[in-house]
Structures are given as C-alpha cells and as structure tokens.
A and B are shown apart, each in its own frame.
Chain A
Amino acid sequence: MGNPMRIRASLTGDTVEVKVLMRHDMETGLRKDAAGALIPALFIKNLVAKHKDKVVLDANFGPSVSKDPFLSFKFKGGAAGDKVSITWTDTAGDSRTDEASIT
C-alpha cells in the first residue's frame, strides 16, 4: 500500500480544480547507489482520477516524472461535497487510492 497523497479539489463557478501531491520515489533505473550499483526502476505508471464513478483523467507516467509527483487539472460537472478519488499504480504493482471532497 503506497504512501498517502494530499488531494485538494476546489470548485469555482462550474469548474473543479484538482491538485494532487503524491509521495513516490519515481526511480528511473538510471541512478547508481553509493556502491556504484544501479538502483532499479520503480515509478508510478498509471493514474486514474474519478469524480464519483466517472473517470475525469487517465494518465500514464514515465520515470521522468519528478519524484513526489504533483498533478493539477480541471473538470466540469462537480458539486461541493462530491468525492474525487485518485488511484495510482506503480511498476512494482503497488497502488494507492485516496479521496477528497470538493470544497
């Protein structure tokens, strides 16, 4: 189970802005440790954002997305109090889902 994310979903007019902070090392597989050995690649590869049951964003990340990824996007049709959920899966098969209410 991955580390908790920080999700903020705020409604302005008819648009919900979602900002997500994820705790993940996003190892590229190209770095070397102190002993000179390659640190294996380990990174978030999929991310799905949902508003209630509807997918509002479906992303594929590569290893060149920064460590502790930040993501921001907007969608229409959300109301205050609705749930927005984010799920990520990484190359090790680990996954994390967190949700937040639209404010």
Chain B
Amino acid sequence: MNHKLLALAGALALAQAMVHAQTSSTDEIAKYRQMLADGNPAELWEMRGEELWKTKAGPNQVSLERCDLGLGPGVVKGAYVTLPRYFKDVNKVMDLEARLVYCRTTLQGLTQAEATQTPFGSTAKQSTIEALVAYITSESRGMKMAAPTGHPLEKQAYEDGKKLFYLRGGSHDFACATCHSADGKRIRLQELPNILNPANAQMAYTTWPAYRVSQGEVRTMQHRLNDCYRQQRFPEPVYASDALTALTMFLAKNAEGGVYAAPALKR
C-alpha cells in the first residue's frame, strides 16, 4: 500500500514538473520573441515596398499610386484592415494580394504571369510582392481589423472560407480545423492558434505578414496559407486564388477588432 502511494506521489510530482517545464518553455520562448521585437528586418522590406509602390513600372509606365485598395485610389493608410472586401470594378471579393495583382495588370499593364511572379522571395530572387505587401500592411499598424461582410458576396466569401476551413482532404485527411479548432494545442513547441476563438484568431491574423527567421524573408498571408496546405499534404493552391481569398476572409472576420501589429517577426 505504501509503495503504491509513493509511486502515485512520484508520478504526480513528475506530471507537475512536466507541466511546469512546458509552461517554462513557453515563457522562455516568449522572452526570445520579446528580445527580437526591437529591430525587425521586415522594416527593410517596408522601405523597399514603399519605393516600389511609387516607382513607374510595366508597359504603361505608371506607379501604383492610383491603385485603389478599397479606400480610394492611392490610399494606403488603413486600407489593409478593411480587406478582404468587395470591389465594384471587378464585381468580386479580393484580398490584398489579389488586388495588387489586379492593379499591377490593369494600371501598369503587366501580364498575369509577370504580376504573380516570385510571390515568395528567396536569397536568389527578391520578391516585389512581399515588399509591396510589407509596405501596404505597415500603413495599417495600430488599427483595428475590420473586414466588411455587409455585401452579399462578402458574406458568401466568409461562408466559403468556413467550408474550406473544415474541408478534410489530402493524403493525411487533414483540414485546417484539425490543428486550428481547439484551444491549447501545439506541435512540438509551436502553439497552434484556435481560429474559432476570437482572441487566438486576432493574435494570429494581426501578425501577418511577418519576417520569418526560419525563411529569412518576409512571408505574406498567401505564403502562410500555401505553407499550411503543404503541411496538410494538399495540392498546392493557386496564388491569389478565390479559394485563398475566401479562407482569408474567414480568418479576417474571426479576427475582427484585433489591433493590427504587423509586419511582425516570427520563427
């Protein structure tokens, strides 16, 4: 009897120590992230993006300064937090990157291929898109996420996004929901935000794009979703496709009210 009690006490102590160790690891990693907060290389992308926004490009030799991101031609400040949204000129819902492709093709005259080239940069090839996104999103820093869902197509995009969130598929039968629909989950030391929990959704969505130290690049929301699908063993989604816009709408709406804090810095 005594042995059993001792064993139980031992097991409890061990379990407690393990929980403590887990919490300590999370705290330590929070400290690590804090130490990196000052001096985010993403600022260098923001600088490059601002210049690119103002630079004439394409056969039409115009800059993007007349691009309407939803608040009127050329208005960058505060535009990101109102995306995705319905655009009358195309009669559809667009997220930031889809809208940038639209502006680069219609205003500047780039081909679809040119406007969607190198969406994810590397040391070998810088990405114009990542820089533009870094700049545009930086101009919404400190503002509250407010993607509109008043228009029927906006509502539809939200519903489509929700369906995609729960869609199981790929070789491992994963859905986004498999990892992102319950509190307190993690993969190794990476905590997984519960997208159905507004506080988690806000924390997740308000910190993209981000300079990812593991990539050494600023990564956009399109990259995040693309990478999720890769990890779920799904086929690669088409860049700036309607499906990703819908999923982004679902994320953005769930993050409503969150204070935008990107471009951020992540693992």
Direct A/B contact, Cβ within 8 angstroms: yes
Residue ranges of A at the interface with B (Cβ–Cβ < 8 Å):
3-6, 19, 21, 23, 25, 27, 39, 66-68, 70, 72
B40: chain A residues at CB < 8 Å are 21
With most chain A CB atoms within 10 A of its CB, the pick from B39, B43, B48, B213 is B39
B44: chain A residues at CB < 8 Å are 3-6, 21, 23, 68
Known A-B contacts A4-B44, A4-B47; A21 and B216 likewise in contact (beta carbons under 8 Å): no
Question: B123 near A19 (CB under 8 angstroms)?
Answer: no
Complexed CA–CA distance, A17 and B47 (Å): 22
Among candidates A4, A5, A19, A23, residue contacting B38 with C-beta atoms closer than 8 Å: A19
B47: chain A residues at CB < 8 Å are 4, 6
- Minimum CB–CB distance for B131 against chain A, Å: 11
Specify the main secondary structure of chain A where it touches its partner: loop
A39: chain B residues at CB < 8 Å are 123
Complexed CA–CA distance, A9 and B172 (Å): 52
B257: chain A residues at CB < 8 Å are none
Question: A21 near B123 (CB under 8 angstroms)?
Answer: no
Complexed CA–CA distance, A67 and B214 (Å): 10
**18 CB-based A-B contacts, threshold 8 Å:** A3-B44, A4-B48, A5-B44, A6-B44, A6-B47, A19-B38, A19-B39, A21-B40, A21-B41, A21-B43, A21-B44, A23-B44, A25-B216, A66-B213, A67-B41, A67-B216, A70-B41, A72-B39
- Minimum CB–CB distance for A36 against chain B, Å: 15
A66: chain B residues at CB < 8 Å are 213
B216: chain A residues at CB < 8 Å are 25, 67-68
Question: B38 near A68 (CB under 8 angstroms)?
Answer: no
Known A-B contacts A4-B47, A6-B47; A68 and B41 likewise in contact (beta carbons under 8 Å): yes
Question: B38 near A25 (CB under 8 angstroms)?
Answer: no
Complexed CA–CA distance, A25 and B125 (Å): 11
- Minimum CB–CB distance for B228 against chain A, Å: 22
A70: chain B residues at CB < 8 Å are 39, 41
Among candidates A3, A6, A25, A72, residue contacting B123 with C-beta atoms closer than 8 Å: A25
Complexed CA–CA distance, A85 and B39 (Å): 18
